Structure 1
């Protein structure tokens, strides 16, 4: 229960500081800063979850981070305030992921997602009193889709995979997010990525393939040992 509370509280900190950082720095800079979180996850997973980070995972992290630099092409950090918000947001996200992994030992993904979103709502609702919104119908529609699809369902899917994968592998797969944004912009918005951007996307996809292949091999070996035992 304590891990679930921590995961929800840190998720609230992550979302809040992420939005605040977007007001101060370019989106590429903010996203690249947030994607330092998998490095923190890998560094802390051994101590908090007793996970062993393999050489292949380290290679995958390096490939994914390098690819993200090519995809996101960051600019300025928005001064000290922007840099501080990015660092806090990345560390909060890493902490939330590690706490979620621990909570999932006893709590199923659906309950964990519901619990985290409830905690986030309780912690962030007072901000509405400080800054009362005056949304239009379009704003409400966008917020509704953002909350249901890109927060609730995405969080549930992430927790469902986190049950089956190590925290480090799950962190590596987070780098697929900027690649999906790249493909969506190219497909639906007519954006034309440069060759170096596509190179970055290829590096991220390679990192994801290496990480998932290693996870699949470990799962198969574990299943074989359980059958023999």
Structure 2
């Protein structure tokens, strides 16, 4: 049976929705975020090394200093992400984290990769407005620890945008799974000690869930993201990336029985509308 590749826009939006599952995994498995990061990086790396010999040969024979740098950036980015989640309220951290699509679009414009249309910029603004509406009712109080956490999350978002910029260039001559493998190699080694430290205290369902998390988020999610990233404009990818927020919010309602006000539903609708129109606009 011949594999039929999904439309690039659908791949990016699907990846974003899959990423929305991350919080569900971490909460249900009662797993430290450092361990979740370890599973996310280590599991895909091991699977691709074992079952994709052509990728393994290419990674170890065709060296790329730029992609090695990107892999190192991933490690730093995740550590800052963990710090942000630890020191700042989750709702505020999410707002700051999702500055990355805007930063990614800005980088692409400055580098001359794209001149987004006014319509695409308007859709990006609609998605950001939806994110703001989803934060309705959240109190913003500043203290030194919280400020440090939000600053950590912003730097993490900046690094993620930079990585997306680097990987988009690399994807012009490399397969999505090769980029996934290169991204996981260094991080998998760095975060493996966290897995080993907590592993004796984990139950079998937690370990199985951790492996599933790595496959779903690290392999399938990022595979779809990188596939689409090579084929859509950065600004369109940025709009579609807000599907992660929509997915996380809806999963919170379904899985954890969280309550949304009419304003929150309006925000979710703005993000969904922006994503739908962005796909049609490309």
What is residue 227 of structure 1 aligned with on the other side?
none
Relative to structure 1, the CA distance from residue 96 to residue 75 in structure 2 (aligned partners, 3 Å threshold; closer, same or farther) is farther
Alignment of 1:42-191 (within 5 A): 42-48=105-111, 50-73=113-136, 74-76=138-140, 78-125=145-192, 128=194, 132-133=197-198, 134-137=200-203, 138-191=205-258
Deviation at 1:10, TM superposition (A): 2.4
**CA RMSD across the alignment:** 2.2
- Partner secondary structure for residue 111 of structure 2: helix
> When the two structures are aligned, how many residues end up with a matched partner?
213
Spell out, residue by residue over 1:106-152, the C-alpha distance to the aligned partner (whole angstroms, 9 max, x if none): 11111111111113223444x649x9435412443343222221222
Query: CA separation in 1, counterparts of 2:69 and 2:111?
Result: 13
- Partner secondary structure for residue 84 of structure 1: helix
Work out whether 1:26 is the aligned partner of 2:89.
Answer: yes
Which consecutive unaligned segments of at least 5 residues does structure 2 have?
Answer: 1-63
Query: CA separation in 2, counterparts of 1:23 and 1:106?
Result: 38
Query: CA separation in 1, counterparts of 2:243 and 2:278?
Result: 12
Relative to structure 1, the CA distance from residue 80 to residue 200 in structure 2 (aligned partners, 3 Å threshold; closer, same or farther) is same
Contact persistence 1:72–1:178 (CA under 8 A): no
What is residue 223 of structure 1 aligned with on the other side?
none
TM-score by structure 1 length?
A: 0.83
Contact persistence 2:121–2:235 (CA under 8 A): no
What is residue 281 of structure 2 aligned with on the other side?
214
- Partner secondary structure for residue 193 of structure 1: coil
What is residue 202 of structure 1 aligned with on the other side?
269
Deviation at 1:85, TM superposition (A): 0.7
Deviation at 1:59, TM superposition (A): 0.7
Query: CA separation in 2, counterparts of 1:135 and 1:88?
Result: 33
- Partner secondary structure for residue 230 of structure 2: helix
Query: CA separation in 2, counterparts of 1:36 and 1:139?
Result: 32
Deviation at 1:49, TM superposition (A): 5.6
- Partner secondary structure for residue 23 of structure 1: helix
Which structure is richer in relative contact order (CA contacts within 8 A, separation 6 or more)? 2
Query: CA separation in 2, counterparts of 1:115 and 1:92?
Result: 17
